Chains A and B, each alone.
Chain A
Amino acid sequence: MTELAYDASEGTAPLHRRLAANAARPLQWLLKLLPGIALLLFWQWASGRLIKEIYVSKPTAVAQRLYELFMSGEIYPHLWTTGQELVLGYVIGVAGGVIGGYTLGRSPRLARIFEPYVMAFYGVPKIALAPLFIIWFGIGMGSKIALASIMVFFLVFYNVFAGVRSVDRELVNLTLVMGANQRQLTYHVFLPAAAPFVMLGMRLAIPYSVIGVIVGEFTSSAQGLGLFIHEASSTYDPAGVFAGIVILLAFVTVANFLAGRLERRLLRWRALSGAGPIDV
């Protein structure tokens, strides 16, 4: 919202205001980064002084470990495996959630039959399924993809289900009177109306896909970041653990950024509120 407001003002605002806006942006970034930098500095200072380094490592050691991992190429197979698991698990979970949520949202009859079951399975702690999934799908990527996608599925499912059900009945009737058939109704009313809910589910699901994959790899695996972190912690290598966590952080950040871009594109109509004329 605020960024859009900036864009709008940059073209027309007088010069001094434009300069002010240009100076304000780096300042904001600085303010955003400040707490992070402070935390890192405190960590660096406290390590070895307040807490033993063997417990918490320190930022410079983590940075060095990251550098080594990428230079030696040791990390790439892990990255590749975990990356594939994350993307596949996420995509399968989102697709299943959207299709399932949409179908049940549109059909009250199906919803009456299946909602109690979905609700019951929703309550099952999916993490507890990890060992079972290993038995079913093996210690390869299959079990991790399954675990990630089932966690993502429920989040997306419930959001889409709620979104489709919340569509105004009057709007639907109006569209029917305008001459819409069921396919047109889906395309022009239900999908756009559900889009904010789909986006919300997709954003919420990102960290859950990471949890699913990492827990799966912790439980049993031959390759992957989860395994790498697990091994680092069992060999008293805190720098290695944090290096793994930093990589996961980067994954989530990039995914969030992409989801944010997609959201701004799909939901342009929401962001633009109140930016227009307000007279009769």
Chain B
Amino acid sequence: MSDRVLAFDGIGQDFPAPGQRTKVRVLDGISFEVDRGKFVAVIGPSGCGKSTLLQMAAGLLAPTRGAVHHRGRKVTEINTEVGFVPQQAQLFPWKTLAENVELPLLLRGIAASERRERVANALASVGLTGFEQHFPNQLSGGMQKRGSIARTLVYRPDIILMDEPFGALDAQTRMVMQSDLQALSMDAGASVVFVTHDITEAVLLADHVVVLSQRPSRLLANIPIDLPRPRNMFEPFRNPGFEAAYDAVWIEFRSQIETGRVH
């Protein structure tokens, strides 16, 4: 059995442009793989279709060309085997934190006693024990984000898709969350596809950084990051080899910023 969990094969995507007859080509022949337990960060300029790739992996959108394969099976409908952590926490405001985390298990018909145990474990792993009965609007942004991650971890998907999950957090909260995510993903043994536009974040978290170009975006580089783990998220420059890894990504990414047309 191969170690390949997720594969993007020659993905192309066109979107209809408002007020125009011709379609806008957003993605053009993107191919890369995600191996078991690996952390892959996808970076690219804004509007290059990074999030679109995640939607395809979740089966929410069919690519115009090419296909996404999850464990060798082509994704053609909603893929309930993946976990999805969106940009906003998107907890259900009418459910308590515990009910939020419990929902995926409830939807999958798992017995009540096992649900209770797994919810407790998931909440403990993100440090939210004691907040079970709180409603989302009683929690801070960082806590909501943790809740959102717990809600994904609780059903143990083998791949977690994260769409700029820490973009809306303040700088300190963000570092703490990055550090915790590193620990969580190492524990869970799940693969992660992490979309971001922050090079430092990508280099610190990932085993591979996939760099996309401006629209119509192509794959510019797939750069392995061999920094030892656990990495120091709070002082990036203290990780041995960080500078070289950052430079390797930056050289590819720089060209896209210099030729930047629309931001």
Q: Which of B92, B93, B107, B138 contacts A184 (CB 8 A)?
A: B107
Q: Which of B58, B88, B173 contacts A173 (CB 8 A)?
A: B58
Q: Which of A171, A181, A192, A272 contacts B138 (CB 8 A)?
A: A272
Q: Within 8 Å CB of A176, what residues of B?
A: 60, 78, 80
The answer to whether B84 has its CB under 8 Å from any CB of chain A is: yes
Q: Within 8 Å CB of A189, what residues of B?
A: 92
* Interface hits, B90-141 → A, CB 8 Å: 90, 92-95, 103-104, 107-108, 131, 134-135, 137-140
Closest to B138 in A: A276
Contact of B90 with A170 in the complex, beta carbons under 8 Å = yes
Please give the residue numbers on chain B whose beta carbons come within 8 Å of chain A beta carbons, in ascending order: 55, 58-60, 78-80, 82-84, 86, 88, 90, 92-95, 103-104, 107-108, 131, 134-135, 137-140, 142-143, 151, 155, 172-173, 176
Contact of A274 with B138 in the complex, beta carbons under 8 Å = yes
Please give the residue numbers on chain A whose beta carbons come within 8 Å of chain B beta carbons, in ascending order: 168, 170-171, 173-181, 184, 188-189, 192-193, 195, 269-270, 272-280
With known contacts A177-B79, A178-B80, A276–B139 Cβ distance under 8 A: yes
With known contacts A173-B60, A178-B80, A269–B93 Cβ distance under 8 A: yes
Q: Can you list 23 residue pairs at the A/B interface with Cβ under 8 Å?
A: A170-B86, A173-B60, A174-B86, A175-B103, A176-B60, A176-B78, A176-B80, A177-B84, A178-B80, A178-B107, A179-B107, A181-B107, A188-B92, A188-B103, A192-B92, A192-B94, A195-B94, A273-B138, A274-B138, A277-B131, A277-B140, A279-B140, A280-B176
Contact of A168 with B80 in the complex, beta carbons under 8 Å = no
Q: Which of A168, A174, A181, A274 contacts B84 (CB 8 A)?
A: A174
The CA of A170 and the CA of B163, in the complex, are separated in Å by 12
Contact of B135 with A269 in the complex, beta carbons under 8 Å = yes
Q: How far is the CB of A3 from chain B (nearest CB, A)?
A: 18
Main secondary structure of the interface of B (DSSP, over half): loop
The CA of A1 and the CA of B80, in the complex, are separated in Å by 39
Closest to A178 in B: B104
Closest to B152 in A: A178
Contact of B104 with A269 in the complex, beta carbons under 8 Å = no
Contact of A178 with B140 in the complex, beta carbons under 8 Å = no
Closest to B87 in A: A170
Residue of A180, A181, A274, A275 most packed against chain B (CB within 10 A): A180
Residue of B78, B80, B95, B107 most packed against chain A (CB within 10 A): B107
The CA of A100 and the CA of B131, in the complex, are separated in Å by 38
Q: Within 8 Å CB of A175, what residues of B?
A: 103, 107
Q: How far is the CB of A58 from chain B (nearest CB, A)?
A: 50
Q: Within 8 Å CB of A277, what residues of B?
A: 131, 138-140
Contact of B140 with A177 in the complex, beta carbons under 8 Å = no
